[in-house]
Amino acid sequence: MKETQKVCDLIKTLEPKPGRGFIHESDDLKYIVPDIILEIVDGEFIVQVKDTTAPRLKVNKFYKELLQKTKDGNISDYVNSKLNSALWIIKSIEQRRMTLYKVANSIVKFQKDFFTKGKIALKPLTLKDVADDIDVHESTVSRAINGKYIQTPRGIFELKFFFSNGISSKNGDISTTSIKTMIKDLIESEDPKKPLSDQKIVNKLKEKNIKISRRTVAKYRDELNIPSSTLRRRF
């Protein structure tokens, strides 16, 4: 059994498609560029929305000067209407930027413990919580966070990452992400010769006043891409 295990471990290190290890300069590689930057300075959380989220627009001064110099009423009306449209677009973009700033600030306010303690401290959070906090509709929050990323001292995260359901416990509501982190930590510290079964994980979580079913543990374990105790056992 030990020899078989060694062979399996070796096979897992092999690459059936060696070409995947080579990258060409011509490859269309895409990187995540964060839309928001979070910095912690002297214990204070500072949120900054980057200009890449929307272009900085301004009206060409040529048209402003034209409006001042022209005596033709038709030209004046036409330029005026276009200027109003341009100003409306600029105002809308700035409002969008401000909405994203407010949403990010609200998320940081709700999830402060995460930025100082890690995933285990992530709290349950819904779109409604943030919407009520900044006095906008849930759909506005949903549109604002769609495809947006934030750079934090703990890495880059999609804003959707901070929203998750929770499970009630004696210590208050705990997010599913936090519970998954606990399960992962328990499995990483287990005895590889006697790995924890899903039921034993349930019992250990129960000691922390977190009551979930064995089926839920199995579901979270699968989502973490962690095999069952039988497959984790080392000989």
In this structure, the answer to whether residues 153 and 180 fall within a common structural domain is: no
Residue of 121, 100, 120, 97 whose CA lies nearest to 110: 121
In this structure, the answer to whether residues 219 and 147 fall within a common structural domain is: no
202: in domain:
yes
- In percent, how much of the chain has pLDDT > 90? 50
CATH code where residue 187 lies: 1.10.10.60
How far is it between the farthest Cα atoms of the chain?
95
- In this prediction, residue 172 has a pLDDT band, given cuts at 50, 70 and 90, of low
Please state the domain count of the chain: 2
134: in domain:
no
26: in domain:
no
Residues 226, 187: contact at Cβ < 8 Å?
A: yes
Tens of pLDDT, residue by residue over 134-148, are: 999 999 999 999 999
Tens of pLDDT, residue by residue over 34-69, are: 999 999 998 899 999 987 666 678 888 888 788 788
- Cβ contacts of 90 within 8 Å, gap of 6 or more: 57, 58, 59
Residues 140, 133: contact at Cβ < 8 Å?
A: no
176: in domain:
yes
135: in domain:
no
What local confidence, expressed as pLDDT, does residue 19 receive? 81
What local confidence, expressed as pLDDT, does residue 74 receive? 85
What local confidence, expressed as pLDDT, does residue 119 receive? 86
What local confidence, expressed as pLDDT, does residue 170 receive? 64
Q: Which two tokens stand for residue 185?
A: 């930590």
Tens of pLDDT, residue by residue over 80-117, are: 888 888 889 888 888 888 999 999 999 999 999 999 88
What local confidence, expressed as pLDDT, does residue 143 receive? 92
In this structure, the answer to whether residues 211 and 225 fall within a common structural domain is: yes
In this structure, the answer to whether residues 160 and 45 fall within a common structural domain is: yes
**Mean model confidence pLDDT for the chain:** 88
In this structure, the answer to whether residues 146 and 175 fall within a common structural domain is: no
- In percent, how much of the chain has pLDDT > 70? 93
106: in domain:
yes
Residue of 36, 40, 48 whose CA lies nearest to 153: 40
Please state whether the predicted TM-score (pTM) of the whole model is above 0.85.
no
> Which of 148, 164, 180 corresponds to the end of one domain?
164
In this structure, the answer to whether residues 176 and 153 fall within a common structural domain is: no
Question: Beta 174-175 vs 44-49: how paired, if at all?
Answer: unpaired
In this structure, the answer to whether residues 170 and 160 fall within a common structural domain is: no
In terms of residue numbers, what domain contains 45? 33-52+60-118+140-164
178: in domain:
yes
In this structure, the answer to whether residues 69 and 106 fall within a common structural domain is: yes
